[in-house]
Structure 1
Amino acid sequence: MSEIATNPRTQTQVKVERPRLHKVILVNDDYTPREFVVFVLKAVFRTGDEEAYRIMMAAHQLGACVVAVFTRDVAETKATEATEAGRRKGYPLMFTTEPEE
């Protein structure tokens, strides 16, 4: 009789991880008008009137506030777009990003 060599077959499974999310943070300053901050939040982040006002007031009272959470590329793009909107008007409006924990 002939010997049959049996080798166990292994299958490689690809594990797909979700991309790491990043927070967009509005940093308070004492020079940018509140109305302009609300305008930028509505225009860039598509928030409603009440939510934009709530975010602006939270940043004003706490010094900073998380606006939204996105993938890294989207968060950085929106933060840059919002910051540049303030710069074009001469305001020191600043949005930053950081990884979500």
Structure 2
Amino acid sequence: MSEIASFENKVQELKPKTKKPPMFDVILLNDDFTPMDFVVYVLKEIFNHTDQQANEIMLKVHNEGEASCGIFTKDLAETKSYEVNNLAKINDHPLISIVKPIYD
């Protein structure tokens, strides 16, 4: 009987080790042709940014050449980037977004 009690004391509860999924940044690249209003529209529609956030990001893209639209898991980042690029193409704008991995 004491062997069972001793064994039970040695058994430790295992905690599952879950890793956070790798994250990816969706970057909007500047061009000289896409209207600023369209960039704001994209940021609001695809990334759900407010008017103020969308305008701040649009100005950063315009002034610095690129800006982050948001950080997501890989599948979601790739989907959002595709939506940006597709919407721009449909509307005859050269706007491009890319996906960059974020390294810890």
The TM-score with structure 1 as length reference comes to 0.86
Provide the rounded CA distance (Å) in 2 between the counterparts of 1:80 and 1:47: 18
CA positional deviation for 1:14: 3.9
Aligned residue runs from structure 1 range 8-19, under 5 A: 14-19=16-21
Q: Which runs of 5+ in 1 are unaligned?
A: 1-7
Provide the rounded CA distance (Å) in 1 between the counterparts of 2:11 and 2:66: 55
Provide the rounded CA distance (Å) in 1 between the counterparts of 2:13 and 2:51: 53
Structure with the higher helix share, 1 or 2: 2
- CA root-mean-square deviation: 1.6
Counterpart in the other structure of 1:5 = none
CA positional deviation for 1:12: 6.5
SS of the equivalent of 1:29 reads coil
Provide the rounded CA distance (Å) in 2 between the counterparts of 1:10 and 1:50: 52
Counterpart in the other structure of 2:56 = 54
Provide the rounded CA distance (Å) in 2 between the counterparts of 1:54 and 1:17: 33
**Percent identity at matched positions?**
36
Provide the rounded CA distance (Å) in 1 between the counterparts of 2:11 and 2:50: 56
